[in-house]
Amino acid sequence: MRLTRLLTVSLGAVFVGCALLVAGAYLFQRSIMYIPPRGETPPPEGVEVVRLITSDGERLVAWHRPPQGDGPVFLYFGGNAEGLQHTPRWQEVAARHAGLFAVAYRGYSGSTGTPTEAGLHEDARTAYRWLAARYPAERIVIQGFSLGTGVAVRLAAERKARALILEAPFTAAVDVAGTSAPFLPVKPLMRDPFLSRDWIGRVSEPVLIVHGEQDATIRFDDGRRLYAMANQPKAFVAMRDSDHNSLVDDGLYGHIWQFLERLPQAPRPGATGSAAAG
């Protein structure tokens, strides 16, 4: 009888512990998924600050480096802890006289609001709308890193662009979470699944995927699987010695320039694109 009671109590404690773990994962998942830098920082030389207002009333901070000549303009979406900051990425783009437009997601780097998947997609549409009013779609290159690949893939499926570039992408954020916490029922719990695997097949632009083979945050195989789902034309670059955060330092932009140079020439300035706001 005593042994039965002890087993009952032990099983009850395990059940309660599991329930608390699941409840905690559900309630606090967004604080784990989004790690926003809060303060607004001054831009580097040659970069202007742009203020955007989303359709749901959030005020976003963005940085814009105009291109010199008729080069591409990158519409960049960063990772989950990445705000607006002067990084080697800006230096690489400036060295080639290309343009760059980066938006701070809601709740990031001086932007108002709280990050959610639906909110980030709306931020992306707002940023695209601003950029497409100034440049033809044939000059806009949609680019995302890590979490930002989930934003970039869907935007490229919904809007026209010259190309889509994905750095260390996932098939879905819910897939990454499931691998990291296989003991939790992640799929029904995940509020912001970022299902890139459901959207990549709708992208008609040329796609470049770059992934580090030493990536311990988003598995290299995830990038390979997403690449297999993408339409042609497409290219995959495996960076042998790179981890999740070292792609730019390890020569990412050399691969990007080569990829873009193989594409048909974009129209000269003054051409009108068919990119519509919406």
CA distance 167 to 145: 5
| Residue of 244, 246, 250, 255 marked catalytic | 244
| Residue of 123, 192, 215, 222 marked catalytic | 215
92-112 burial: b if 16+ Cβ within 10 Å, else e = bbbeeebbbbbbbbbbbbbbe
Judge whether 196 counts as a catalytic residue. Answer: no
| Residue of 109, 111, 146, 242 marked catalytic | 146
End-to-end CA distance of the chain: 69
- Contact indicator for 181, 230 with CB cutoff of 8 Å: no
Sign of CA dihedral 91, 109, 122, 126: negative
CA distance 142 to 165: 6
Judge whether 242 counts as a catalytic residue. Answer: no
* Phi-psi category of residue 136: left, alpha or beta, with phi > 0 → left and psi -120 to 50 → alpha: beta
Q: Give 174: exposed, middle or buried? Use CB within 10 Å, 0-12, 13-18, 19+.
A: buried
Chain centre distance of CA 6: 50
Judge whether 215 counts as a catalytic residue. Answer: yes
Q: Closest by alpha carbon to 202, among 237, 167, 172, 229? A: 229
Question: Which residues are identified as catalytic?
Answer: 146, 215, 244
